Structure 1
């Protein structure tokens, strides 16, 4: 049986505990054995390297050097890493080794909660199969991203909230490798209610399964 660790914490505005329960139930339905823990201490466990998947749901916060080193080593050794929004894309702002592994870091969401378009760019990828481009209401993430990411969906800033960004195309969903591990990220999912959007939930569910060893 595939084993997954979900670690939640950080800024409460992203409802990390509630989201961890939703993701946990989703993975259990897909046949995973799931452990849900609060905080970063679980990343120090020597058994981390034996898992199939790690899902951080920790916005901002901090992480100890030993915890991060063990996490990065586990993923480089083949454990999958997957997550969404600020729970993975805005964690541990001072830890560049983490950003390097994830393939991006949040820096802004002009206008805060707004309506925007998600454009599917890789409909041929199994993660995005059958999903057409769709309208979405949430924070439109502006991120610093690795150009080596395999981008599956993007969004285009229209300049309403930051005129100098008009026409900027920003990755929303991507996958990549870090060492032997698969890494998946989706910028969608500000709060737990966004799991009610079928496209958001399906993309994340498929992405986590893809990442899992």
Structure 2
């Protein structure tokens, strides 16, 4: 049986525990044995190589050196890493190694919660196949991103809130490799209620399955 570890914590505004509960349900329905832990100490307390997938849901947290080292090594060895919104894209602002691994870092969300378009850029990819462009109501993340990411969806800033970024095309969903591991990220999913948006939920579900460790 596949094993997943969900680690939640950090800023409460992103509802880490309710989001962890939803993710746990999704993975359980997919046949995973899921372990849910509060706090990054879980990265040091467990043999991370025994898991097939790790889902961090920690916004603005701190990753201690041993915790980070164990997490990096596990993903390099083939453990999958998948996450969403600030829970994975704004997790550890002071840890460059984590940003190197996840492929990006949140910088701003001009206008706060707004309606914006999500455009599918790789309709042939199984993670987004069959999903059309859609309008999403949430924080439109402006991020610093790794050019090596394989981008699956983007959004374009209108400049309504910050005029100097008008026309900027920003990745929203991507996948990448880190060592032998697969890494998936989606900027969608501010809080648990956003899982009610079918496109958001389905893209994350597929992304987590894609990231899961390949056959050993």
Q: What SS class does the counterpart of residue 207 from structure 1 fall into?
A: helix
Aligned to 2:11: 11
Aligned to 2:206: 206
Q: What SS class does the counterpart of residue 193 from structure 1 fall into?
A: helix
Aligned to 2:146: 146
> How far off is 1:45 after superposition?
3.2
Q: What SS class does the counterpart of residue 47 from structure 2 fall into?
A: helix
| Matches for 1:10-159 after TM superposition, within 5 Å | 10-159=10-159
CA shift digits 1:157-184 (9 cap, x unpaired): 0000000000000000000000000000
Distance in 2 (CA, whole Å) between partners of 1:46 and 1:38 is 13
CA shift digits 1:66-87 (9 cap, x unpaired): 0000000000000000000000
Distance in 1 (CA, whole Å) between partners of 2:43 and 2:23 is 18
Distance in 2 (CA, whole Å) between partners of 1:177 and 1:126 is 16
Provide the aligned C-alpha RMSD in A: 0.5
> How far off is 1:46 after superposition?
4.7
Distance in 2 (CA, whole Å) between partners of 1:54 and 1:154 is 24
Q: How many residues align?
A: 213
Check if 1:175 corresponds to 2:186.
Answer: no
Q: Which runs of 4+ in 1 moved over 3 A?
A: none
Q: Which runs of 5+ in 2 are unaligned?
A: none
Q: Report if aligned partners of 1:79, 1:212 keep a CA contact under 8 Å in 2.
A: yes
Q: What SS class does the counterpart of residue 158 from structure 2 fall into?
A: coil
- The normalised TM-score by structure 2 is 0.98
Aligned to 2:192: 192
Distance in 2 (CA, whole Å) between partners of 1:160 and 1:27 is 38
- The normalised TM-score by structure 1 is 0.99
Distance in 2 (CA, whole Å) between partners of 1:66 and 1:107 is 26
Distance in 2 (CA, whole Å) between partners of 1:18 and 1:212 is 22
> How far off is 1:47 after superposition?
1.3
Distance in 2 (CA, whole Å) between partners of 1:155 and 1:64 is 33
Distance in 1 (CA, whole Å) between partners of 2:145 and 2:44 is 27
Q: What SS class does the counterpart of residue 205 from structure 2 fall into?
A: helix
